[in-house]
Amino acid sequence: MIDSAHALAFMRAHHSFVVVGHKEPDGDCIASQLAAAALLRALGAEVTLHSAGPFDRPEIADFVGSFAATIPDARRQGTAAVIVDCSTPDRTGALGSRLAGLPCLVIDHHSAGEPFGDARFVDATAPSTTVLIQQLFDDAGVAFDADTARLMLFGVCTDTGFFRHLGRNSAPVFHAIARLVEHGTSTSEIYMMVYGCRELSARKLLAEMLSRTESHRDDRLLITWQTQADRDRLSAHQRGEDEVYRLLQTIKGNVVVVLIKEEGDLRFSVGLRSTTAVDVGAIAASFGGGGHRQAAGFDIAGTLDHVKTTVKTVLLPLVEAL
């Protein structure tokens, strides 16, 4: 557990905050922003929440109304920034330029990236940023209510794939989770928040991605993709990416799963998931992206065939060497 004193000193030294997370927010990001705001308000500060969006993931869609898409000039006067779940400043997306010059506290759990901010509370061993926010509540001696407990459990559950990615050294995480449950939330409640909001069209898109999956080297490398045409044909607003990874990573012998998504004209995002054998965070970083050792991503331009060939050129030698 790392020392939170600098982070709490920063939180107490200012009285007005903008709380910002990363673009394309996920459950941990949104929950960390909301829980950090609750802590700051308990400490007596005035707080507003900001996100570059979009709120595409179905489990966070209901939160969109709590976040402003920009930071007006008037809001920048005399305020400090708390940036959560971001390993680099550019992860804040379009809000980045609005944060320039503000005193800044970074709360994060990513391993890669360039250290930034005037105060940092960063622990790459934490499974989610919400676990760090929970530590801040505890170290500040501030009690949290059931709504905040629910948010913090939501963050841990979404970032760990419902605990699937937690290893043998995770007992402290489960102790922390036990206290969240004591405060009035439950894993069944969070499960429905995450998985009780899917559309049938997204399941049909999932079927499409599964059936077209390319296997290389005895399933060690599995590659699939979705295009804008797929989403249009199926009227799929939800993309179902988490389930693609979850299902393909159950294939015996699989090491790396790649999901290529068309984001615009000749623009693709590449998502990578791996076992511990391959550091996909390093691969993503080499393409200007980021993430963790076992979950990472990057953006790339070109045709779908070009993107697939590029991915295979990098990954085939790595999985062959195993």
Q: How far apart are CA 98 and CA 71, in angstroms?
A: 6
Contacts of Mn ion in 64-103 (CB under 5 A): 85
Q: How far apart are CA 103 and CA 85, in angstroms?
A: 17
User: 129 or 135: whose CB is closer to Mn ion?
Assistant: 129
As measured in angstroms, the least distance from the Cβ of 129 to Mn ion is: 5
- Positive or negative: CA dihedral 303, 308, 312, 314: positive
As measured in angstroms, the least distance from the Cβ of 27 to Mn ion is: 8
Segment interacting with Mn ion (CB under 5 A) among 94-102, 123-131, 265-273, 312-320: 123-131
Segment interacting with Mn ion (CB under 5 A) among 127-135, 145-153, 295-303, 309-317: 127-135
Segment interacting with Mn ion (CB under 5 A) among 28-36, 64-72, 199-207, 254-262: 28-36
Segment interacting with Mn ion (CB under 5 A) among 22-30, 96-104, 145-153, 172-180: 22-30
Q: What strands lie across the sheet with 290-291, from one edge to the other?
A: 214-216, 221-226, 256-264, 267-274, 295-301, 290-291
User: 128 or 269: whose CB is closer to Mn ion?
Assistant: 128
Pair type for strands 221-226 and 214-216: antiparallel
User: 129 or 249: whose CB is closer to Mn ion?
Assistant: 129
28 binds Mn ion (CB under 5 A): yes
241 binds Mn ion (CB under 5 A): no
As measured in angstroms, the least distance from the Cβ of 159 to Mn ion is: 5
Helix (H) or strand (E) holding 286: helix 280-286
Q: How far apart are CA 218 and CA 241, in angstroms?
A: 23
Q: How far apart are CA 10 and CA 21, in angstroms?
A: 18
User: 129 or 134: whose CB is closer to Mn ion?
Assistant: 129
123 binds Mn ion (CB under 5 A): no
Q: How far apart are CA 42 and CA 40, in angstroms?
A: 5
Which listed residue (131, 136, 144, 159) binds Mn ion by CB under 5 A? 159
Q: Which residue is nearest to Mn ion (CB)?
A: 28
Which two three-digit tokens encode residue 34? Answer: 């909301």
Segment interacting with Mn ion (CB under 5 A) among 121-129, 138-146, 161-169, 259-267: 121-129
- The helix, strand and coil proportions of the chain, stated in percent and rounded to the nearest 5, come to 45, 20, 35
Return phi, psi of residue 80, to 5°.
Answer: -115, 160
- At residue 105, the 3 state secondary structure works out as strand
Q: How far apart are CA 292 and CA 279, in angstroms?
A: 8
For the CA atoms of 133, 134, 140, 144, what is the dihedral angle to 10 degrees? 110
Contacts of Mn ion in 161-220 (CB under 5 A): none
User: 156 or 311: whose CB is closer to Mn ion?
Assistant: 156
User: 156 or 221: whose CB is closer to Mn ion?
Assistant: 156
User: 159 or 279: whose CB is closer to Mn ion?
Assistant: 159
User: 85 or 242: whose CB is closer to Mn ion?
Assistant: 85
User: 28 or 230: whose CB is closer to Mn ion?
Assistant: 28
As measured in angstroms, the least distance from the Cβ of 114 to Mn ion is: 17
As measured in angstroms, the least distance from the Cβ of 22 to Mn ion is: 8
**Per-residue exposure over 113-123, b if at least 16 CB sit within 10 Å of its own CB, e if not:** beeebebbbbb
Q: Which residues lie near Mn ion (CB under 5 A)?
A: 28, 85, 129, 159
